[in-house]
Structure 1
């Protein structure tokens, strides 16, 4: 187990390596996960999330790849909570915590490193001040990134505020288990342990309704190839799923060709899944020079459903003064061809 440090153009990054050569790289800019390298059936280690080839591109394009989203992930309709006017950065709405500043594109402080015989990790911290983006309370957000020797990568976000405020963080990594984005996610197999999903308006805002997934393209309770399953959904997946409370993995992703498998378990109530459908940008150079194209990755954002403050049944994202709240998600990586 080791930690390799890198520094370039004022950006610090840290690669966590376990005893089986799996590695995770995190940079302090946005507490961003830039790479997760796992082996395929032939023993090749490749990056299974979308990441820019140059660290500077994370600053230039601000595209959320692998970034920490806080204070609140997703949309808040009309950018208002109680008497507080939040930053309008998505038309009349508030998105991903606002942009004055945008926490995903600010430097985080490395509090300390962790290294034992069976795990390595980082603890990063960011302090967002009372009134930033309209939120009440000065909040300390602590991000823990831990890789263990079994191939489990765990992200924990803890928020503590001196006033009643909102907290609903997530990580915005796009996964592609083919390795170095060799193929789209169309033939990768997704399973979501969820009976209900959050329906959206034509503008992408939650309606507040939680229909059952039965007899819809949103039914991933049995494993299904992503491309054929979501073909009837205009614009692809960008929906929240209400996770069943189970000790078993709540989300599974599998690529038969590489043999790579990801299982996810979280203490959050939901996961927002985006298939990056119609997401194209030829300026981007990802995973060895590839441009961003439709369905190149799938994001699995563990969180409370977006716009929860307007829909009581979604759950509460209100936190009380001086009472820390933690969101934790574990990603277990393996290969089905290992014996």
Structure 2
């Protein structure tokens, strides 16, 4: 295993630290097969992920930017950790321990992805480690009481590990001194062809789920847990991402494509579950996703438009897809959804695994 780091001096975008210089860094982890993960401590962003294709050629399978300033300006959460609450919470008002808290709201009256400046814009402390057959980085951040409206000081660790079996694992650990909400995810956009000038329409995907969460016009779950059978949301058998995208379906029209959570379990357990299999026929690269989370949010990059990415490539609609393992969106407003409440002093733990192979 090999680990490298590069320091870069730039400006933060936080209002408090605006115009002050802060050290940012890039970190590279490489395994015995040459698989390489390049990440930034700004938002714990995955900048590049090189895996071998069927021609034994290293291929970068994620979307990203060339500079830290691009990540500072990013509005699409490319490659970053999202929190304190990933996805949407309608209304923005939550009651915890008999106290009402108001979260940051977007136009339309919903909270999204941690607020105006969520974890995707935070500078993490990065600590490297090496063990037999694997190495990684521990990212640490302390989120203060009432940051973006969330109660309590939250101590967060995000651990990226790459092993010699071409497995990239993500572990989240957190503890808070007040009862709070937490829903964390990783927002990497994948294109397993290695060329995001191509859409992801021909990727074959299987989602091990029989249910999904329909949404309203704000893309907030209605509360219904709907069967995927006989709908464009049925990925119980492998099919092309683009196969049903143009079908006359209200849910696809509301979201401009797939932007929905698929239910892996209605009652949350800590078991690591096989969630998704994706294969890109041209490259031969297969990605298997496992998670302890009760849902995976499948997003097909519907709102990417004319985004300048790495190496001068322009990202457009469906240049990449996200598989955001998480709890259900808007869970605080639906008692039958698995709870996203983290009690004071309790430890939050979650794990997601991306395993790469070639056929």
Q: TM-score range by the shorter chain?
A: over 0.9
Match of 2:276 in 1: 251
- How many residues align? The count is 332
Contact 1:17 1:23 in 2 (8 A): yes
Structure 1 CA distance, aligned partners of 2:273 and 2:131? Answer: 27
| Shift in Å, 1:90 | 4.2
Structure 1 CA distance, aligned partners of 2:338 and 2:137? Answer: 30
| 1:1-339 matches, cutoff 5 A | 1-9=1-9, 10-82=23-95, 83-99=100-116, 101-110=117-126, 112-232=127-247, 233-234=252-253, 235-244=256-265, 249-280=274-305, 282=306, 284-336=307-359
Cα deviations across residues 277-308 of structure 1 (Å, max 9, x unaligned)? 2421x2x3223211121111110000001100
Structure 1 CA distance, aligned partners of 2:278 and 2:77? Answer: 21
Structure 2 CA distance, aligned partners of 1:239 and 1:2? Answer: 37
- Residue segments in structure 2 that go unaligned for 5+ positions in a row: 10-22
SS at structure 2 position matched to 1:104? helix
Contact 1:164 1:318 in 2 (8 A): yes
**How large is the Cα RMSD of the aligned pairs?**
1.5
Cα deviations across residues 159-199 of structure 1 (Å, max 9, x unaligned)? 10001110110010111100142421000001000010000
Contact 1:85 1:134 in 2 (8 A): yes
SS at structure 1 position matched to 2:286? strand
SS at structure 2 position matched to 1:133? helix
Structure 1 CA distance, aligned partners of 2:197 and 2:105? Answer: 37
| Shift in Å, 1:13 | 1.0
Distance 1:241 1:277, change over 3 A: same
TM-score between both structures, scaled by the size of structure 2: 0.89
| Shift in Å, 1:54 | 2.5
| Shift in Å, 1:328 | 0.7
- Residue segments in structure 1 that go unaligned for 5+ positions in a row: none
TM-score between both structures, scaled by the size of structure 1: 0.94
Moved over 3 A (4+): 244-248
Distance 1:63 1:248, change over 3 A: closer
